[in-house]
Structure 1
């Protein structure tokens, strides 16, 4: 089985370091070897279960998002969101490094994990996870999300299926993500006494709220970049 590995290195000075190796199945893009053997109660599916969750407790006793966030909570639960860290992210293709806050660095890692954890509402982001961009800003994420969704429409059209070039489906995806983020935040408040992990999720949620409400306006800001296509003659 071929595996894609994305490593997050967090350096806190004085030699303190945390390393997270995220292993993805190259075919399914599902997370591998990320869930601890003993899971806390806040990961139970019926503990603040999302109102839009399609999973059944009998078949899925644990929330896939929560279960895959346990290691992050255990290792970052004592830090404050504004603590500084030097982040290095390594993939097979490149190395990315930046000085940033724990909140932003953990949020980037959480976004990758949530997209690939097996949650029915987050699996749409697997293509973005395959081409993961650590610490992406809002405009970069808007571009990536819209490009991903429109490429999906291209494949749907090739298969003779109904397509959505108005991006209404993308807005719906992000609306569902808001509900997931809200209930996961409730779980995290039960799991940790500090704010680093919770605020990392809040930062992700702010973007989800923004995109679902103003997606057309956000894309209009990118309109001028496509002048060579729009003004093409012949």
Structure 2
């Protein structure tokens, strides 16, 4: 029997008693977002509509931006709200339910980051392993630790488990520089397509962190160094007789 898709549900409790539920389904092995059947994609999801500068995809007729297409199924529901409006948001996975009171832009930033990472956008694919272990409303330090840890793990696995590939903060910074370009392109798309600012500001929140990484990565990781000091080396492995 084929494994069931993993799911993450965001339940927004909005002003005036209005609720919005968004359930995302992911392919079991790749954790790519599974598309939902629905209406024809809106015009702003087309690849040629405010494309991000480094997009490697060919702008063939009718081609869609993967990130925009994935956002297009739900983001219109929030065009009646401003970014600063408050919400209580439940994030429900198979393992746990997390609840946070926050601004709408913060909640949308969390789900937009998850969607972008799993949408099939080649410039955001780096974050798909992080999305597999989604941590909503993570702090900047939590996000940076998770990003660098999975970057390290990815390089280890690519080297066949030998640990032979060099790993650097500079490589992580280069990833985030490309992500910032994607975020700016997406913000331009949403700004042109919608009248209110909740979705746009959600992307801006993601971009603020992406732009900060080159300036804070080294310092933030240095702050963690004392946590690893004084840890003894592992005991020698016993040799069987």
The alignment's TM-score, normalised by the length of structure 2, stands at 0.90
Partner of 1:98: 100
Picking from 29, 38, 41, the partner of 1:39 is: 41
Between the aligned partners of 2:15 and 2:43, the Cα distance in structure 1 is 33
Which structure 2 residues correspond to residues 1-234 of structure 1 after superposition, within 5 A? 1=2, 2-34=4-36, 36-58=38-60, 61-158=63-160, 163-229=165-231, 232=233
Alignment CA distance shift 1:162-1:72 (3 Å): farther
Alpha-carbon offset, residue 83 of structure 1 = 0.5
Between the aligned partners of 1:130 and 1:150, the Cα distance in structure 2 is 16
Gapped regions of structure 2 (runs ≥ 5):
236-241
Between the aligned partners of 1:85 and 1:156, the Cα distance in structure 2 is 41
The RMSD of aligned alpha carbons is 1.9
Bigger mean CA offset, 42-51 vs 193-202: 42-51
Whether the 8 Å CA contact 2:8–2:93 is kept in 1: the answer is yes
Bigger mean CA offset, 122-131 vs 35-44: 35-44
Bigger mean CA offset, 163-172 vs 127-136: 163-172
Between the aligned partners of 1:24 and 1:142, the Cα distance in structure 2 is 24
Please identify the structure whose Cα radius of gyration is greater: 2
Whether the 8 Å CA contact 2:14–2:87 is kept in 1: the answer is yes
Classify the secondary structure of the residue corresponding to 1:32.
coil
Classify the secondary structure of the residue corresponding to 2:159.
helix
Q: Deviation digits for residues 93-113 of structure 1, max 9, x if unmatched?
A: 001001111010110000000
Between the aligned partners of 2:172 and 2:61, the Cα distance in structure 1 is 28
Whether the 8 Å CA contact 1:8–1:88 is kept in 2: the answer is yes
Q: Deviation digits for residues 48-80 of structure 1, max 9, x if unmatched?
A: 222211111228711111111113321111211
Whether the 8 Å CA contact 2:156–2:162 is kept in 1: the answer is no
Q: Deviation digits for residues 75-130 of structure 1, max 9, x if unmatched?
A: 11121111000110110000100111101011000000000000000111111100
Alignment CA distance shift 1:55-1:223 (3 Å): same
What is the number of residues matched between the two proteins? 233
Bigger mean CA offset, 71-80 vs 181-190: 71-80
The alignment's TM-score, normalised by the length of structure 1, stands at 0.93
Gapped regions of structure 1 (runs ≥ 5):
none
Alpha-carbon offset, residue 163 of structure 1 = 1.9
Between the aligned partners of 1:175 and 1:59, the Cα distance in structure 2 is 28
Between the aligned partners of 1:212 and 1:56, the Cα distance in structure 2 is 29
